[in-house]
Structure 1
Amino acid sequence: MNSRIKSLIKKEFIQFFRDKALVMLVIYIFLEVAICGWALFMEVKNLPTAVYDMDKSQYSRNLVENFSETENFNIKYYVNDYNEIERLLDRGRASIAIVIPKDFSLNIIEGRQSKVQLLADGSNSNTATLAISYGAKIIRKYSRNIEIERLGISKNQISLLPSVNSLVNSWYNPGLNFTHFNLVSMVAIAAIFTGVLLASGAVVREKEVGTLEQLMVTPIKSYELIIAKILPMGIVKMFGLAVGVLISVFLFDVPVRGSLILFFLLSTLLFFTAMGVGVLIATVSKNMQQSLLLSFFVLFPIMFLSGTVVPISSMPVLLQWLSYLSPLRYYMNIVVGIFLKGVGLDVLWSQALSLGVIGSVIFLISSLRFKNIMR
C-alpha cells in the first residue's frame, strides 16, 4: 500500500470521528437491533379485554375465568350494553370483547348449541387474528370439557378413546421463537443501511466542504481515493456488525449454529455492494440532505423485497421477480442459514455468488460515475 493511500485512509478516519452526527448514526443503527428485539414480537399478551355477560350464570363466569387465567387476555372492563363495547374499541382501550348471550347457560343445560361472540379491533390485523385464534381455542376447550362432563366420561376413559395425534416438529427453531428471526433480520438490515449511508455520506461530505475539488488537483488516482474511502468505512461497519451480533447472541439468546468466520467473510460482500450503492447515490447528490433522501428512497424497496418484512412467496409474482435484484434477499438467506440453520458454504455458495455478482455490477457503475466527477 503506497503512502498516498495510507495518508488518505488516515484522513478518512479523522474526518469520520470528527463528524459526531455520523458516529452517532452508526451507533444508533446497530443499537436499534436491541430496541427491535425488545419491541417487535409476534406474540399477543395482556390484551385489554371487555366482557358483556348478559347471562350472568355460573357457566358464563367459568368461561370468563378461562380467559382471565391465560396471559393473553387481561379482563379490564365489564360492560352492560353494546354501546360501551363500541366506545372502548373506538378509543383503543379494549382490543377484544367477549359477548355472552342471555340464553347461554339455558342452551347448555338443555343440550342445545350455545354461541359466544368475539369482537376484535381489526385495525391491527395481526393482533386481531392472533387474539381471535387464542379466544376460539379457549372456547373450544371449554366446550370440550362440557361435552365430556355431559357424557359422564372420566379422564382415564378419555385416554382409551380412539384419536389421531399430529406430531409436529419444527426444525431450526423448535420453540418457534419469532425473536430469533427478528434479530437476525434486523442485523442484516442494519448492515446494508450503514453501508449505504456511510459511503454516500463520506463522498457528499467532501462535496459540501469543498475538499473534493482539492482532491481533484492532487496527484492521486481515482482508484486510490475509492480504496481510501472503502477501507475505513469497512472497518467501522465490521465493528458495528460485531456489536449487533453480540447484542443478538448475548441479550436475546439467538443461536449461532454455523461459522461466524464465514458470516463475517460473506458480510464483506454485502458491504461491498452497499458501498457501491452509497457511492452511486453520492455522485448524483449535491448535499447531505439529498443523499439521505435518495438513500432511503433506494433502501426501502431493497428491504421490502428481501423477505425480512413479508415472505417473498407471499408477494405478487412481479414483486417476486423484482426481489432477485435486492442484494439483501441473498444476504438474508446467508444470515438465516448460518445463525439458525448452521449450514456452510456448500449450501450458501449460490447466495454468495449472486450477492457478489450484484455487488460487482453496482460497484463498477458507481466507480465509473465517480471517475467522471473526479475529472
Structure 2
Amino acid sequence: MGRWLFNIYRLGLKELRSLKTDPVLLLLIVYMFSFAIYAVATGAKVEVVNASVAYVDLDQSDLSGRIVDAILPPEFEDPQRISAAEVDRVMDDGEYVFVLSFPPNFEADVIAERVPELQLNVDATAMVQAGNGSVFLQQIIADEITKFESQDDTSSTLPIDLIVSAQFNPNMKSTWFSSVMQIINNVTILAVMLTGAALIREREHGTIEHLLVMPVSPSEIMLAKIWANGLAIIIAAILSLWLVIQGFLSVPIAGSIMLFIAGTVLYLLSVAGLGILLATFTTSMPQFGLLVMPVLVIMNLLSGSTTPMESIPEWLQTMMQASPSTHFVSFSQAILYRGAGMETVWPDMVVMAGLSAVFFAISLMRFRQTMASGQ
C-alpha cells in the first residue's frame, strides 16, 4: 500500500510539472475561473434591463399619459411615440421589444366602465425580456388605472396586504446566481478537459511508452492524473470564490467552503475519470475536443444549473440522476446559496461517492485495455 501511494504521489508531481510547462492550459484555468465568470455574471442578465418600448396614443388623455410616464428606467428605456402605421414595421425590424397601443376614447371608456381594450405587442424572440417585461408592464398599467379611478396617487388598493420575502437572494439579482453557477459548471468542464488532455498529451509526446515499461499500474496512473489536475481545479475554484465572487462581484457565500471542497473532491473522482474514459476513445486533441463538447453540453444544461430540474420532462429527470453533475449542482446550490450543512447534503454526497466509484471502475477497465494494447 505504501509503495502504491508513493507511486501515485510521484506520478502526480510529474503531472503538475507537465501542467506547469503548458501555458495554454494554465491560461485556460485562469481564464475560466476569473474573466469568464465575471463576464457572464455581469453581462448575461435575466432581469429586464433597458427594454425598448414604443407607444401609439390615439387617445392623448391624462390616463394614457400617466401610464406612459410610469414606464421608467432601469427596467425600460424611455418610451418612444410612434404612429399606428409604424407598428408593423418597427416590430418586423426588431426596433422595440414592446409596443403599447392606446385606442381612441380610452380614458372615457375607463371612466364609463366600458372595459376598453389596450393592446400590448411583444417581440417574444427576446424571451426573457418578453416574459418578465410584459408582466411588469401589465402591473404598471393596472396600478395606474387603479390610482386614476380612486383619485389616489399614493397607492393602489388591494384586498390583501401581500408581503414578499425573497430568501437567499433578497434583491433577486441574476449576478448572485450566474456567478456561482459558472464556478460549478467550470469545475465540470475543466475536470473532464484537463484529465483527458493529460492522457492525450502522453500520446502526442510519446511518453505513454515510458509509462508502459515502468513498474506502475493503470490505477496509479489514473489516480495520479486525477489528484494532480483536481488539485489545480480546487485551488482555482477556492481563489475564484474569494477573489471574484466575494471580492469583485460582492456575492455572499452562505455555507461552508470546506464542506463544498469535500463534496467537490468526491465529484472530481467521477468527472475526471470520465475525461480519461473519453480520451481512451480518441487519438488526438481535436478528436477529444469534438467528443467532449456534446457530453459537457448535456451535463451542464440538464443538471439543473441552467434551468430547474422540475422544468425538465420527468423521464429525462430520471435519466439525469445517473449523471454526477446533477447531484453536484444540487449539493453546491444547497451549500453556497442556502448555507446547508452536512445534515442536508449528505444524500447527494453519498450518491456522488457511489457514482464516482462506478465511473472510476469503468474508466479504469477501459484504460487498462488501452494500456495493454499500447495505443
Of 88, 97, 119 in structure 1, the residue corresponding to residue 90 of structure 2 is 88
Tell me how far apart the structure 2 counterparts of residues 8 and 309 of structure 1 sit (CA, whole Å): 37
Q: Deviation of residue 148 (structure 1)? A: 0.3
Indicate the percent of aligned positions where both proteins have the same amino acid.
26
The unaligned stretches of length 5 or more in structure 2 are: none
Q: What is residue 165 of structure 1 aligned with on the other side?
A: 161
Of 79, 82, 91 in structure 1, the residue corresponding to residue 82 of structure 2 is 79
Q: Deviation of residue 142 (structure 1)? A: 1.0
Question: What SS does structure 1 have at the residue aligned with 2:70?
Answer: helix
Tell me how far apart the structure 2 counterparts of residues 313 and 372 of structure 1 sit (CA, whole Å): 40
Q: Deviation of residue 166 (structure 1)? A: 2.7
Structure 1 residue identity aligned to 2:209: E
Query: 1:90-136, CA deviations, whole angstroms, 9 ceiling, x for partnerless residues?
Result: 22221111111122233245453333211110112221111110110
Aligned pair count reads: 367
1:187 aligns with 2:183: yes
1:197 aligns with 2:202: no
1:147 aligns with 2:149: yes
Tell me how far apart the structure 1 counterparts of residues 153 and 365 of structure 2 sit (CA, whole Å): 79
Q: Deviation of residue 174 (structure 1)? A: 3.2
Tell me how far apart the structure 1 counterparts of residues 367 and 343 of structure 2 sit (CA, whole Å): 36
Q: What is residue 212 of structure 2 aligned with on the other side?
A: 216
Taking a change above 3 Å as real, the CA distance of residues 200 and 52 of structure 1, as seen in their structure-2 partners, is same
Question: What SS does structure 2 have at the residue aligned with 1:46?
Answer: coil
Taking a change above 3 Å as real, the CA distance of residues 63 and 330 of structure 1, as seen in their structure-2 partners, is same
Structure 1 residue identity aligned to 2:93: R
Question: What SS does structure 2 have at the residue aligned with 1:163?
Answer: coil
Q: What is residue 58 of structure 1 aligned with on the other side?
A: 62
Tell me how far apart the structure 2 counterparts of residues 154 and 25 of structure 1 sit (CA, whole Å): 55
Question: What SS does structure 2 have at the residue aligned with 1:98?
Answer: strand
| Runs of 4+, deviation exceeding 4 Å | 1-7
Of 28, 38, 41 in structure 1, the residue corresponding to residue 42 of structure 2 is 38
Question: What SS does structure 2 have at the residue aligned with 1:167?
Answer: coil
Structure 2 residue identity aligned to 1:12: E
Q: What is residue 249 of structure 1 aligned with on the other side?
A: 246
Q: Deviation of residue 7 (structure 1)? A: 4.5
1:296 aligns with 2:293: yes
> 1:276–1:366: 8 Å Cα contact kept in structure 2?
yes
Structure 2 residue identity aligned to 1:191: V
Q: Deviation of residue 207 (structure 1)? A: 1.4
- Counterparts in 2 of 1:250-269, with a 5 A limit? 250-269=247-266
Q: Deviation of residue 87 (structure 1)? A: 2.3
Of 222, 225, 241 in structure 1, the residue corresponding to residue 221 of structure 2 is 225
Tell me how far apart the structure 1 counterparts of residues 131 and 97 of structure 2 sit (CA, whole Å): 11
Structure 1 residue identity aligned to 2:19: F
> 1:188–1:328: 8 Å Cα contact kept in structure 2?
no
Taking a change above 3 Å as real, the CA distance of residues 241 and 78 of structure 1, as seen in their structure-2 partners, is same
Of 109, 116, 119 in structure 1, the residue corresponding to residue 118 of structure 2 is 116
Structure 2 residue identity aligned to 1:324: Q
TM-score, normalised by the number of residues in structure 1: 0.91
Structure 2 residue identity aligned to 1:165: D
Tell me how far apart the structure 2 counterparts of residues 4 and 184 of structure 1 sit (CA, whole Å): 36
> 2:111–2:149: 8 Å Cα contact kept in structure 1?
no
Taking a change above 3 Å as real, the CA distance of residues 307 and 27 of structure 1, as seen in their structure-2 partners, is same
Q: Deviation of residue 325 (structure 1)? A: 1.2
Tell me how far apart the structure 2 counterparts of residues 143 and 281 of structure 1 sit (CA, whole Å): 61
> 2:41–2:174: 8 Å Cα contact kept in structure 1?
no
Q: What is residue 369 of structure 1 aligned with on the other side?
A: 366
> 1:50–1:76: 8 Å Cα contact kept in structure 2?
yes
Q: What is residue 311 of structure 2 aligned with on the other side?
A: 314
Taking a change above 3 Å as real, the CA distance of residues 137 and 334 of structure 1, as seen in their structure-2 partners, is same
Q: Deviation of residue 23 (structure 1)? A: 1.7
> 2:47–2:173: 8 Å Cα contact kept in structure 1?
no
Question: What SS does structure 1 have at the residue aligned with 2:286?
Answer: helix
